[in-house]
Amino acid sequence: MTSLPGGASAERSHVEESRRAKRDAIEALGILPFAYRFERSHTALEALALYDDRMGEDGPLVAVAGRIAALRSQGKTGFAHLEDSSGRIQVYFRRDALGALWELVQLLDLDDHVGVSGRLFRTRTGEVTVRAEAVTLLAKSLRPLPRGKTQVAEDGVQTFGGLADPEVRYRQRYADLAVHPEVREVFRLRARAIAWLRAFLDARGYLEVETPILQPLYGGAAARPFVTHHNALDMPLYLRIADELYLKRLLVGGLERVYEIGHDFRNEGMDRTHNPEFTMLELYEAYSDYEGMMQLCEEMVGGVVEACCGSRRIERDGTTLDFTAPWPRVRFVEGIRERAGVDVRTADEADLRRLLVRRGVSADEAATFAGGKLQDEMFKAFLEPELVQPTFLVDYPVALSPLAKRHRDDATLTERFELFVGGKELVNAFSELNDPDEQRRRFEDQAQQRAAGNEEAQLYDADYIRALEYGMPPAGGLGMGIDRLLMVITGLPSIRDVILFPAMRPES
RNA sequence: GGGGGCGUAGCUCAGCUGGUAGAGCAAGGGACUUUUAAUCCCUAGGUCGUGGGUUCGAGUCCCACCGCCCUCACCA
């Protein structure tokens, strides 16, 4: 990093120096390098659609605005491509048509924001173009964007070279977005998906709510929290790791269908599928159960995939993911038993560890697994990699699910499912435990695990128990990782590709 | 945190077994009134991630550190 923002001139590149010199020259012409406003008549795409070849050299008058994405000076004329959020349009500058403004055109750089008005025509080479009659500088770019050369082809814009370093792309997302229209498209798609989910739930009578992000007790998931401090109350507060316990309090209060879309914060490792803050959709529906949630899931996830990808069958990594309902269900205990030959609820723990070691887990590690953790490791080793097609993994052991209702037919299990797509967990849902005394016992069990060193065991939440004592209707609830959903929808390999500003170590 | 890889001009990259840096694009000057990866001529631009070490000599070899990527672990 030789040139830092606002650094001394000695630290700036010659490119930046030259742009600042042009900025000064523009000011000397009495022109503002950073304008206040521009009334554009059409976006690039709208303007292009306006032209008809019968109009010849004198098409309609348009005023377009955008960033200069290509600039070709040619003596007393020049061509530029303006890029706005709709696309690109070419602009043709002529000295004899611009008069005094020609001086300004000479001082334009790639990446400047400009507004151009003029008539549309088609060039010899066939491109619909604005013949500039007036040019307004809207914002001088003092730092060149890391863009490559581009070629406008019939099937889109082809780039040669350009910003490729993933570090710069994530740290300077503004630059990444500015030079990569396809990245802008990812985040449009993200917004479309979230809007679709809201519309879907609103149409089903769900109420969108907001619950605390700063919580005196964190719960609803197993994870280490971020801790902060409230000065006025002089007490620690935790950034939520889940919305669950607050949303279920609302069921007690008579809000029968609620959902929340917001960030959860988990103080854990970061990798391709984990960012410390991520977007979660949680929803709860009174008088439903996990069966109801599976149906809802098929409609909702299948629907959003279809809305974003145009089909419920999408091609990912050479396989077709088929979101057409119904989706297969695999029972947690039976699924493992079919592959490992043991019942994880009743098998001797030493035998389970031996199976894990035979499966490739290191002996030292396996020795540390016990209880619910051991069962989960068995799942990861024997079952998870097979869950590529949308699949419900159902009926988890009780030890793994302290907030889920016991299975109606088998007291060792809970009515819980997770949806897996591409081998990754996308949704977690259950029939919500609404017996306050059993919930109390589950919390006490978690407290014991905590005392035994499990940092992620859930905290005893007395206020939540009090709420349940008032009576919570039976309900189904569901949580879905929005970022991971977007990874499925876009086919992008890293959660950082679908989060605008992913967490990064600080620079310098 | 373990293992592997990478870090050279604004951007994309070369740089063989050590002999103190190259290209294309971008930039500056010039030519060019329908070009589109415009073209042609000329010019400038780099403490090779940081700090040590080995060596007569380090972009290159060694060590440490910083950052990123991949992978494993953690994340039910």
Domain final residue, candidates A111, A139, A167: A139
* Structure confidence at residue A4 (pLDDT): 32
Task: Indicate if A257 and A164 belong to the same structural domain.
Answer: no
Short-list A246, A277, A262, CA closest to A472: A246
* Structure confidence at residue A154 (pLDDT): 64
Kindly state the average pLDDT of the residues A38-47: 97
Residues A117 and A137: their CA atoms lie apart, in Å, by 12
Short-list A309, A335, A321, CA closest to A426: A321
List strands edge to edge, sheet with A235-239.
Answer: A214-215, A235-239, A227-230
Kindly indicate the confidence band of residue A3, based on its pLDDT and cuts at 50, 70 and 90.
very low
* Structure confidence at residue A112 (pLDDT): 96
Task: Indicate if A269 and A397 belong to the same structural domain.
Answer: yes
Bigger pLDDT: A64 or A458?
Answer: A64
* Structure confidence at residue A391 (pLDDT): 94
* Structure confidence at residue A357 (pLDDT): 80
How many structural domains compose chain A? 3
* Structure confidence at residue A368 (pLDDT): 76
Strand partners, A77: A74, A94
Query: Distance between terminal CA atoms of chain A?
Result: 9
* Structure confidence at residue A163 (pLDDT): 86
The mean predicted confidence, pLDDT, of chain A is 90
Domain CATH number, residue A19? 2.40.50.140
Is the pLDDT at A493 greater than 90, yes or no?
no
Task: Indicate if A430 and A465 belong to the same structural domain.
Answer: yes
Task: Indicate if A160 and A192 belong to the same structural domain.
Answer: no
Residues A313 and A347: their CA atoms lie apart, in Å, by 39
Residues A430 and A286: their CA atoms lie apart, in Å, by 12
Tell me which H or E stretch contains A417: strand A416-421
Q: Supply A210's token pair.
A: 């907001």
Task: Tell me the per-residue pLDDT of A169-181, one tens digit each, with 9 for 90 and over.
Answer: 888 899 999 999 8
In a domain, residue A90? The reply is: yes
Kindly indicate the confidence band of residue A11, based on its pLDDT and cuts at 50, 70 and 90.
low
Task: Tell me the per-residue pLDDT of A425-455, one tens digit each, with 9 for 90 and over.
Answer: 899 999 999 999 999 999 998 888 888 777 7
Is the pLDDT at A153 greater than 70, yes or no?
no
Residue A220 DSSP code: S
The residue that minimises its CA distance to C1' of B9 is A13
Task: Indicate if A195 and A157 belong to the same structural domain.
Answer: no
| Distance measured from the CA of protein residue A271 to the C1' of nucleotide B41, in angstroms | 52
Task: Tell me the per-residue pLDDT of A329-385, one tens digit each, with 9 for 90 and over.
Answer: 999 999 999 988 899 888 888 888 888 888 777 777 777 777 777 888 888 888 888
Region class of A310: left (phi > 0), else alpha (psi between -120 and 50), else beta? left
Task: Indicate if A155 and A196 belong to the same structural domain.
Answer: no
* Structure confidence at residue A449 (pLDDT): 81
* Structure confidence at residue A44 (pLDDT): 97
| Distance measured from the CA of protein residue A472 to the C1' of nucleotide B26, in angstroms | 65
Kindly state the average pLDDT of the residues A392-419: 92
In a domain, residue A217? The reply is: yes
* Structure confidence at residue A32 (pLDDT): 95
* Structure confidence at residue A156 (pLDDT): 67
Residues A290 and A297: their CA atoms lie apart, in Å, by 10
| Distance measured from the CA of protein residue A152 to the C1' of nucleotide B24, in angstroms | 19
Q: Which nucleotide, over all strands, has the C1' atom closest to the CA of A456?
A: B76
In a domain, residue A40? The reply is: yes
Is the pLDDT at A8 greater than 50, yes or no?
no
In a domain, residue A504? The reply is: no
Sign of the Cα pseudo-torsion (A361, A367, A368, A369, in order)? positive
Q: Which nucleotide, over all strands, has the C1' atom closest to the CA of A454?
A: B76
| Distance measured from the CA of protein residue A163 to the C1' of nucleotide B41, in angstroms | 30
Domain CATH number, residue A312? 3.30.930.10
Q: Supply A144's token pair.
A: 């060149």
Q: How far from A479 is each of A330, A433, A447, A505, CA to CA, in Å?
A: 19, 15, 24, 29
Q: Which of A237-241, A287-291, A316-320, A333-337 has the lowest mean pLDDT?
A: A316-320
Half-sphere exposure of A39 (CA within 13 A, CB side): 0
Q: Which nucleotide, over all strands, has the C1' atom closest to the CA of A129?
A: B34
Task: Indicate if A85 and A205 belong to the same structural domain.
Answer: no
Q: Which nucleotide, over all strands, has the C1' atom closest to the CA of A376?
A: B76
Q: Which nucleotide, over all strands, has the C1' atom closest to the CA of A425?
A: B76
| Distance measured from the CA of protein residue A472 to the C1' of nucleotide B39, in angstroms | 76
Short-list A501, A354, A321, CA closest to A422: A321
Task: Tell me the per-residue pLDDT of A185-219, one tens digit each, with 9 for 90 and over.
Answer: 999 999 999 999 999 999 999 999 999 999 999 99
Q: How far from A359 is each of A254, A337, A365, CA to CA, in Å?
A: 49, 14, 13
| Distance measured from the CA of protein residue A435 to the C1' of nucleotide B60, in angstroms | 70
Kindly indicate the confidence band of residue A7, based on its pLDDT and cuts at 50, 70 and 90.
very low
Task: Tell me the per-residue pLDDT of A454-483, one tens digit each, with 9 for 90 and over.
Answer: 777 888 999 999 999 999 999 999 999 999
Residues A42 and A53: their CA atoms lie apart, in Å, by 19
Sign of the Cα pseudo-torsion (A38, A39, A41, A42, in order)? positive
Bigger pLDDT: A402 or A366?
Answer: A402
In a domain, residue A372? The reply is: no
Kindly state the average pLDDT of the residues A112-134: 96
Residue A387 CB neighbour total at 10 angstroms: 22
Task: Indicate if A246 and A266 belong to the same structural domain.
Answer: yes
Identity of residue A2: T
| Distance measured from the CA of protein residue A161 to the C1' of nucleotide B24, in angstroms | 10
In a domain, residue A273? The reply is: yes
Kindly state the average pLDDT of the residues A102-121: 96
The position carrying tokens 């014991």 is: A448
Task: Indicate if A198 and A173 belong to the same structural domain.
Answer: no
Q: Strand B: which bases are under 7 Å from protein Cβ? A: 1, 9-13, 24-28, 31-39, 44-47, 66-76
In a domain, residue A53? The reply is: yes
Task: Indicate if A134 and A173 belong to the same structural domain.
Answer: no
* Structure confidence at residue A9 (pLDDT): 34
Full domain range(s) for residue A153: 149-179
* Structure confidence at residue A351 (pLDDT): 87
In a domain, residue A246? The reply is: yes
Task: Indicate if A292 and A311 belong to the same structural domain.
Answer: yes
Domain final residue, candidates A179, A196, A230: A179
Residue A380 CB neighbour total at 10 angstroms: 13
Is the pLDDT at A231 greater than 60, yes or no?
yes
Task: Indicate if A20 and A134 belong to the same structural domain.
Answer: yes
In this prediction, what percent of chain A has a pLDDT beyond 90?
Answer: 68
Kindly indicate the confidence band of residue A508, based on its pLDDT and cuts at 50, 70 and 90.
low
Kindly state the average pLDDT of the residues A49-60: 94
